[in-house]
Chain A
Amino acid sequence: DVKVTQSSRYLVKRTGEKVFLECVQDMDHENMFWYRQDPGLGLRLIYFSYDVKMKEKGDIPEGYSVSREKKERFSLILESASTNQTSMYLCASSSFGLRPQHFGDGTRLSIL
């Protein structure tokens, strides 16, 4: 079975902090994705990556950056956390082609 692991289920940080969310997958997938999910807004794509050191902006990249130094790991970085970044963050991975994305358990991030 595909395993996508996010580093934390719950995280509380303060405004202005630099926040790192880590995601690791064990299936040698080429593609990795970061989403945020908010009530009434559904899932919105923040960034994605097709390969190591490659990244593409999604629908809402402002205030975020990403890093993919190794194929199995995709990190989401909040450069200076703000309260409007309080949300559920979901990481996913997939192989190339018309293949399903497999998700981690999600991180509920609160910015105080």
Chain B
Amino acid sequence: AQKITQTQPGMFVQEKEAVTLDCTYDTSDPSYGLFWYKQPSSGEMIFLIYQGSYDQQNATEGRYSLNFQKARKSANLVISASQLGDSAMYFCAMNEAQKLVFGQGTRLTINP
């Protein structure tokens, strides 16, 4: 079975700094997808970025990029130039067939 590990329960970062949120995964499937979601305190889950296992380049979406290291089975989320509005829970997830398996999440706090 797939497994997702997020080792940072919480992180505190100064505004405008870059931040890296760690995610490692475990799977024996050759084809898989990795996803990052943001959950603000209001509760909704917001899809941020996707990386496919066969994608040659790291995914980017605006200030978000995914540092995909396949051999190390890691898929870290990088947020550049952090903003106060980035404060939220962040979840890494991987597909298991049509379902998603989520990590436990990292609570990111951006300090002014």
Asked if A and B are interacting partners, one says yes
The residues of B that contact A101 with a CB separation of less than 8 Å are: 35, 47, 100
Complex contact A42–B102 (CB within 8 A):
yes
Complex contact A33–B99 (CB within 8 A):
yes
The residues of A that contact B68 with a CB separation of less than 8 Å are: none
Give a binary string over A73-112; 1 marks a CB under 8 Å from any B CB, 0 the rest: 0000000000000001010101010111111111010000
- Closest Cβ of chain B to A73, distance in Å, is 18
The residues of A that contact B103 with a CB separation of less than 8 Å are: 42
B32 is an interface residue with CB less than 8 A from chain A: yes
A20 to B105, CA, bound (A): 28
A60 is an interface residue with CB less than 8 A from chain B: no
The residue of chain B having its C-beta at the shortest distance from the C-beta of A9 within the complex is: B43
Interface size of B by Cβ–Cβ distance < 8 Å? 22
Complex contact B43–A96 (CB within 8 A):
no
- Contacts known (A88-B43, A106-B43, A108-B43); A98 close to B99, Cβ less than 8 A: no
Interface size of A by Cβ–Cβ distance < 8 Å? 23
A61 is an interface residue with CB less than 8 A from chain B: no
Complex contact B50–A90 (CB within 8 A):
no
The residues of B that contact A50 with a CB separation of less than 8 Å are: 98
The residues of B that contact A31 with a CB separation of less than 8 Å are: 98
Complex contact A100–B35 (CB within 8 A):
yes
Complex contact B32–A98 (CB within 8 A):
yes
Give a binary string over B7-20; 1 marks a CB under 8 Å from any A CB, 0 the rest: 00000000000000
Interface residues of A (CB under 8 A from B): 31, 33, 42-43, 45, 48, 50, 58, 88, 90, 92, 94, 96, 98-106, 108
Interface residues of B (CB under 8 A from A): 31-33, 35, 37, 42-47, 50, 52, 91, 95, 98-100, 102-105
